A and B are shown apart, each in its own frame.
Chain A
């Protein structure tokens, strides 16, 4: 019975990883209300995270690999599997083209950082309540 439950748990985790959107998780991409940009397209966001300069000088923030929001973001916005993304980032970093992305451990930490820092961009779960100091640039919903 124990074994069966464990397997079931494993299957449900795998399902979540493969298709997080189906599991209901959605993300929004946020920035400080003073940032000059009001919205970004999916491709613009992808370019930003993969090192392209946008018209505004924005700093993208990542959540840790264990975060479901990150899986949703890499899958639906960047459109790469985590392993392809990691390969690509290693390629950029060790050919001297891009420094490592800033990563923060907790959603709360990210929200605080965005509240205080203009021009930073981050994705967080869509369910998080936001105040007027933060605006939404993109949503997977």
Chain B
């Protein structure tokens, strides 16, 4: 269905039998090109581990990117948006990030169909647009690898003003079918029934947001499926069920923001519930505050992520036969090999707005994990205490 949609979208922006002059006038009046980019330099303070792809050598190629967006207005209600993204990070694919049609049903109702950004949390749909937020790296307590950037589907938005309140609500339904890299491990999930409800309320300086997003996740990890079948054959159905890599994952969020003229503060909290073995239950919070003096914004943020996996089932008897012992050991080992990403981050930074299109930022983030956890660190050397600083500077622009 989504392939067909994509074809319709493409063909609809290329009208047939059109003269060169007409095409030129159509392009001038109805096509709007814009885009954004960022060059991010970063380095971690330790040589014992990498964090977000950064090691202790200065690197420009983890988060730098450029994107071009074309908005084609077909008539007063219908438009098509395409966005092409080039990303330097190893874990992000470059290419067509967006392709959707927008139909403005009325000033209050908007319908979108196609490939679009996944709106998990407050900044999820603009994570690539560094110019649109204060931090260089959004707090990992909330914004981390357990999220994916886009989905294919439909989205309906409602916006209305009631007295001094601006109320908006959004529902969407779609699917995601691509590689998802959590820290440095690739998964190939198929996510069906990816759907959600987002409610936002703005009253002058206050913004409140709440969202519920869920999806039916199906992973294919052959070793785990094989082992799970073995357990089921041996009659340990509860144990087999507890190794499920198919199931529902739910993302819930609440956020509040206060924007005054020369300062702002915002808080976001999330709760991820999961039936899928490799995705733990996650609880995250992020707090950010900033002070603005002319073109300079000084900011600080704190974030925290706690996770826990389901407890293993105590079903397989031990000490009866070597086969059962091996089965039990194998089962325990699966749980021991799950990665725990509990983290705390604390960061300080400065953003300087050169003009309406260009901003410079610098930030230092202290990351604290636990010594026997992964805490989003990779290439870890034995004995590393999961504490490091990430130094970053960036140039962010929109055009």
A interface residues, Cβ below 8 angstroms from B: 14, 17-18, 41, 43-44, 46-47, 50, 52-55, 57, 65, 75, 79-84, 86-88, 90-91, 93-97, 99-100
Question: Which chain B residues border A79 with CB–CB below 8 Å?
Answer: 204-205, 259-261
A/B pair count, beta carbons within 8 Å? 99
Can you list 14 pairs linking A and B with CB atoms under 8 Å apart? A17-B294, A41-B164, A53-B107, A57-B107, A75-B261, A80-B259, A83-B359, A84-B259, A86-B356, A88-B132, A91-B129, A96-B100, A99-B71, A100-B32
Question: Which chain A residues border B134 with CB–CB below 8 Å?
Answer: 87
Question: Which chain B residues border A100 with CB–CB below 8 Å?
Answer: 32, 34
- Known contacts A79-B261, A83-B297, A83-B353; A90/B129 CB under 8 A: yes
Cross-chain contact B355 with A87 (CB below 8 angstroms): no
Does chain A have a CB within 8 A of B125? yes
Question: Which chain B residues border A43 with CB–CB below 8 Å?
Answer: 164, 203-204
The residue that A99 contacts in the complex, of B32, B100, B159, with Cβ under 8 A, is B32
B interface residues, Cβ below 8 angstroms from A: 32, 34, 36, 69, 71, 81, 98, 100, 102, 107-108, 112, 116-117, 119, 123, 125-126, 128-129, 131-134, 157, 159-161, 164, 166, 202-205, 259-262, 264, 292, 294-295, 297, 351, 353, 355-356, 359, 398
Q: How far is the CA of A9 from the CA of B10 in the complex (A)?
A: 55
Cross-chain contact B204 with A81 (CB below 8 angstroms): no
Question: Which chain A residues border B259 with CB–CB below 8 Å?
Answer: 79-80, 84
Q: How far is the CA of A87 from the CA of B105 in the complex (A)?
A: 27
Q: How far is the CA of A91 from the CA of B123 in the complex (A)?
A: 8
Cross-chain contact B100 with A47 (CB below 8 angstroms): no
- Within the complex, what minimum Cβ distance (angstroms) separates B246 from chain A? 31
Cross-chain contact B261 with A94 (CB below 8 angstroms): no
Cross-chain contact A87 with B133 (CB below 8 angstroms): yes
The residue that A94 contacts in the complex, of B36, B160, B292, B356, with Cβ under 8 A, is B36
Question: Which chain A residues border B108 with CB–CB below 8 Å?
Answer: 53
Question: Which chain B residues border A84 with CB–CB below 8 Å?
Answer: 259, 264, 292, 297
Question: Which chain B residues border A47 with CB–CB below 8 Å?
Answer: 161, 166, 202
Q: How far is the CA of A122 from the CA of B84 in the complex (A)?
A: 34
Q: How far is the CA of A96 from the CA of B111 in the complex (A)?
A: 11
Cross-chain contact A65 with B129 (CB below 8 angstroms): no
Q: How far is the CA of A75 from the CA of B259 in the complex (A)?
A: 12
Closest 9 CB pairs of A and B: A53-B107, A83-B353, A91-B132, A95-B125, A90-B132, A43-B164, A94-B129, A52-B166, A81-B292
Question: Which chain B residues border A44 with CB–CB below 8 Å?
Answer: 161, 164
Q: How far is the CA of A61 from the CA of B141 in the complex (A)?
A: 39
Cross-chain contact B205 with A65 (CB below 8 angstroms): no
A90: nearest chain-B partner, CB-CB: B132
The residue that A83 contacts in the complex, of B123, B164, B295, with Cβ under 8 A, is B295
Question: Which chain A residues border B100 with CB–CB below 8 Å?
Answer: 96
Question: Which chain A residues border B205 with CB–CB below 8 Å?
Answer: 79
Q: How far is the CA of A14 from the CA of B69 in the complex (A)?
A: 36
Q: How far is the CA of A137 from the CA of B257 in the complex (A)?
A: 29
B112: nearest chain-A partner, CB-CB: A96
- Within the complex, what minimum Cβ distance (angstroms) separates B199 from chain A? 15
- Within the complex, what minimum Cβ distance (angstroms) separates B355 from chain A? 7
- Known contacts A14-B294, A81-B262, A96-B116; A91/B133 CB under 8 A: yes
The residue that B117 contacts in the complex, of A50, A83, A95, with Cβ under 8 A, is A95
Question: Which chain B residues border A65 with CB–CB below 8 Å?
Answer: 355-356
- Within the complex, what minimum Cβ distance (angstroms) separates A45 from chain B? 11
